[in-house]
Chain A
Amino acid sequence: MIRLMAVLITLGVLTGCSQVQPWERGYLAKQEMAWDSDPLERALNDHIFFSKEASSGGNIAAGGGCGCN
């Protein structure tokens, strides 16, 4: 499953990329295009779902634990 997704993503990235010039990156610089556009909201959601579901982890290494899980 993971291998299949990795292959699909790699193909998608390689075929979808173009040389975007610095002056063409205005939309990419908008706050809503950031990977983490609201850090406090993300931290709160991570904490809630870590407490109520069995899954955790993703694109950053986990922080400290809590008695909630």
Chain B
Amino acid sequence: MKKPASRSLIALSTSALALPGIAEADTPPLTSSLSYKISNYQEDELSREQVPFGELERYDIDVHQFQFISPLGRDYALFINANHENMSGASPWFSTAGTNGQPVINMSGASGIYDSRSEVSIGARYYGTRGNIGGAIGYSEENDYRAKYVSMSGSRNFNNDLTTLTVSLSHSDDSIFPSDAERFNRVRHENKRASSVAVSLSQVLNPVASFQTALSLTGQSGFLSDPYKLQDSRPDGKTQIAFANSLRYFFIEADGALQSDYRYYRDDFGVRSHTLDLSWFQNVTRSLKIVPMLRYYSQTAADFYTNIDDFLKPLSESQSSDYRLSAFGAVSGGLSVVADFGGWSATLTAERYVANEKYSAFTVDQPSPGLVQFTRLSLGVNYSF
């Protein structure tokens, strides 16, 4: 009788074959895997100083994520992802000057917002002798928004498989049909399109370090304003460039790995930003890891951002009091505990995010009173079979 391969042998083989250079070719995953993650995302309430009247509560969102990966024959793999979110709360509607002349926020309707979002995507990938190529299609639907998208990517290994070049393309076609459009004089139906191309180069530096550099370019066109804001008018086109660099370094003595990711971003709305992500993966035992994480983010304001809406300005001129277009900085920290029981693994994550104009690396001319602070808790499980 043929003896089944042990879990540890499969895990070892999978890890080894996932690495260019050990395998003679790129290979699909050796086993199937099913993953589920449940998360709660909760934004802090605003203060009465920031919101003189109405709701203080902001978004509370529950997220369910599913992923199924399976090899198909010797050279192919199938990927299925599904997400579902339930959200409630309120978001900034417009901004005015308070009694002291400082900006204050008026929140969306007293009854708040209730919405849900469902998304599914399916993809396949072919693994050849020197690389892999694959694609996916996806569909996302909310009460007031629908997105259909397609993506493709291909990787080629060079230099004894120490260097990998990856090119990816995507296109999304979105429809916006705001709730209560007639009652609040919102747009009835609008469209938005986004196309992206990204090129990345990965390089193994030595037996414990690898580096990746990537450039992505995204063009958006159509209705880019926020239909739920009272006075929001943005240009109908946007070009975004992101330049990302990642380092992975394993410290043998410490039995831990550093993940470091930096991104520089700019767009023609006038936003520039820096993002730095650091994670330390500490192996405590063979089946237990703890992963502290730290992230810093800072952006400039969009050229047309204002922290007090000007209702005399015609909508033909760009204007927005959206806090996401203001200049600010944000610090977030988190901790994950990862337990691996052979075929099963579980990950528990807690994260805290605080945005504040005081953390900005750039000059802040008009601070927003609507910046977000949130707490996120997640529990994920993965089963390989």
Contact = CB atoms under 8 A, between A and B. Distances in A.
Nearest to B275: A55
Given A29-B18, A33-B250, A33-B257, A59 B214 contact: yes
B347 A38 contact: yes
Nearest to A38: B347
B172 interface: yes
B281 interface: yes
A25 B151 contact: no
A66 to B, nearest CB: 6
Contacts of B374: 48, 52
Contact of A29 (B15, B121, B243): B15
B145 A67 contact: yes
B318 interface: no
Contacts of B212: 35, 59
B119 interface: yes
A13 B205 contact: yes
B186 interface: no
**Chain A, interface SS category:** loop
Given A33-B250, A41-B347, A63 B121 contact: yes
B263 to A, nearest CB: 5
A19 B159 CA distance: 9
Contacts, number: 225
A33 B297 CA distance: 23
Most chain B Cβ neighbours within 10 Å, of A2, A53, A64, A65: A64
Contact of B147 (A13, A19, A39, A64): A64
B174 A64 contact: yes
Interface residues of A, number: 52
A7 to B, nearest CB: 12
Contacts of A26: 207
Interface string A12-38: 110011111010111111111111011
B142 A67 contact: yes
A41 B346 CA distance: 12
A48 B19 contact: no
Contacts of B198: 57-61
Given A28-B19, A61-B170, A67-B142, 15 more contacts: A5-B245, A16-B205, A19-B162, A20-B21, A25-B22, A32-B248, A33-B257, A40-B35, A40-B380, A48-B376, A53-B273, A61-B169, A62-B194, A65-B145, A66-B117
26 contacts: A2-B243, A2-B264, A5-B245, A9-B211, A16-B209, A20-B162, A37-B281, A40-B35, A40-B67, A41-B380, A48-B376, A52-B372, A52-B374, A53-B299, A53-B324, A53-B330, A57-B196, A57-B198, A57-B217, A57-B240, A57-B241, A58-B214, A61-B168, A65-B145, A65-B172, A65-B174
